[in-house]
């Protein structure tokens, strides 16, 4: 089907959920045409990594999804995707099918236990300091892996770094002061995706470091800042108490209490937070 005309209106694609359990379905919704004339039909595409476009934008070629050839309603359900994948949409109307532009790609990340490649981070933790460097390693059967990043600005990006080739993949080191927080994953020239890893970058020095001997109380809040009860607290990924509680009290903090803390509520973990403990002599400097 050839394009007779193109309208430079880019709809907005939303995906739900964006993090999938293996075999779960995902709903795509092509939005942003509410103030345009009626009669749109929607077309859905898979975003496939394209090595010829790796230094351009977009980074992908688009393949029309089955069931979308003649256009559909505004929502489109994909049953049982098992791998991380990217999608775009656009709309067309009229007998000659006047098209909008493509939406920005959106990705869904799957918990597939056997992804095409495995991305690992060293040091292996969720929270990192801005002054640190981390090593990202892509291991898989394909060649030509490249790291992608989905930033907090909801924009896809890519970056290059000094790769060290291994037998099955690639590894590189990045300075977090340049790249910051985001979701990282690998893509291969053959169109495969790795698992995705969420990297949270924080300042090296906490806003309020605590001093040895001080009392400390840790509490867990949800996204609307409501205090949660019946939570479990962890120190460096080790359960502190085997019973749930509303808060964790440390009567006199010591250097051994320094480290990463997280809470667990209804089976879901919070991001890990670093608590820095300084000696009394540092307090008096």
For residue 28, what pLDDT is reported? 93
Characterize 215-225 residue by residue with b for buried, 16 or more Cβ atoms within 10 angstroms of its Cβ, and e for exposed. ebebebeeeee
Which residues lie below 8 Å from residue 98, measured CB to CB, with a gap of 6+? Answer: 4, 5, 6, 7, 92
* Cα–Cα distance measured from residue 257 to residue 234, given in angstroms and rounded to the nearest whole number: 11
Which residues lie below 8 Å from residue 150, measured CB to CB, with a gap of 6+? Answer: 107, 156, 157, 182, 183, 184, 185, 196
For residue 274, what pLDDT is reported? 76
pTM of the model: 0.58
For residue 147, what pLDDT is reported? 77
How long, in residues, is the chain? 285
For residue 53, what pLDDT is reported? 67
In 3D space, the residue among 74, 72, 94 whose CA is nearest the CA of residue 31 turns out to be 74
For residue 135, what pLDDT is reported? 84
Structural domains of the chain, ranges and CATH numbers in brackets: 12-110 (2.60.40.10), 117-202 (2.60.40.10), 210-278 (2.60.40.10)
For residue 103, what pLDDT is reported? 92
For residue 39, what pLDDT is reported? 85
For residue 29, what pLDDT is reported? 94
- Residue recorded with tokens 């990217």: 86
Q: Are 258 and 210 in contact (CB under 8 A)?
A: no
For residue 259, what pLDDT is reported? 82
The answer to whether the Cα torsion of 45, 34, 26, 83 is positive or negative is positive
* Cα–Cα distance measured from residue 237 to residue 122, given in angstroms and rounded to the nearest whole number: 16
**Would you state the structure tokens that stand for residue 211, as one six-digit string?**
């001093």
- DSSP string covering 39-99: --EEEEEEEEE-GGGTTSSS-EEEEEPTT-TT-B-SEEEE----S-EEEEEEEEETTTTEE
* Cα–Cα distance measured from residue 118 to residue 196, given in angstroms and rounded to the nearest whole number: 9
DSSP symbol at 107: E
CA angle 146, 158, 160 (to 5 degrees): 60
For each of the chain's 285 residues, which pLDDT tens digit applies? 344 566 667 899 998 888 777 778 889 999 988 777 788 999 999 988 777 766 666 678 899 999 888 889 999 998 876 677 889 999 998 877 788 899 988 888 776 667 777 788 887 766 677 777 788 888 777 666 777 777 655 566 666 555 555 555 677 777 777 777 778 888 777 777 787 787 777 664 444 568 889 898 888 877 566 788 889 999 888 899 888 888 889 999 988 888 888 889 888 888 777 787 877 655 554
């Amino acid at each position: 089907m050839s394009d007779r005309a193109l309208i430079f209106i880019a709809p907005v694609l939303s995906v739900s959920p964006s993090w999938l359990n293996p075999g779960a379905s995902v709903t795509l919704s092509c939005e942003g045409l509410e103030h345009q004339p009626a009669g749109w039909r929607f077309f859905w595409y898979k975003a496939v990594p394209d090595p010829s476009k790796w230094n351009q934008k977009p980074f992908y070629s688009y393949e029309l999804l089955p069931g979308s050839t003649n256009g559909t309603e505004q929502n489109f359900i994909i049953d049982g995707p098992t791998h991380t994948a990217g999608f775009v949409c656009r709309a067309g109307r009229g007998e000659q099918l006047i098209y909008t532009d493509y939406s920005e790609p959106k990705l869904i990340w799957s918990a597939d236990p056997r992804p095409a490649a495995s991305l690992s981070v060293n040091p292996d933790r969720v929270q990192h300091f801005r002054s640190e460097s981390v090593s990202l390693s892509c291991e898989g059967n394909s060649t030509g892996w490249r790291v992608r990043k989905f930033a907090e600005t909801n924009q896809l990006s890519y970056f290059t770094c000094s790769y060290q080739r291994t037998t099955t993949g690639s590894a590189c080191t990045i300075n977090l002061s340049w790249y910051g927080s985001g979701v990282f994953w690998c893509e291969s020239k053959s169109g495969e995706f790795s698992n995705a890893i969420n990297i949270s970058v924080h300042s090296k020095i906490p806003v309020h470091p605590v001093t040895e001997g001080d009392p400390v109380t840790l509490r867990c809040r949800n996204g609307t800042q409501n205090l949660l009860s019946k939570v479990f607290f962890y120190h460096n990924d080790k359960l502190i108490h085997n019973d749930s509680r509303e808060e964790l009290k440390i009567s006199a903090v010591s250097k051994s209490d320094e480290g990463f803390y997280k809470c667990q509520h209804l089976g879901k973990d919070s991001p890990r937070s670093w608590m820095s403990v300084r000696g009394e002599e540092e307090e008096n400097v």
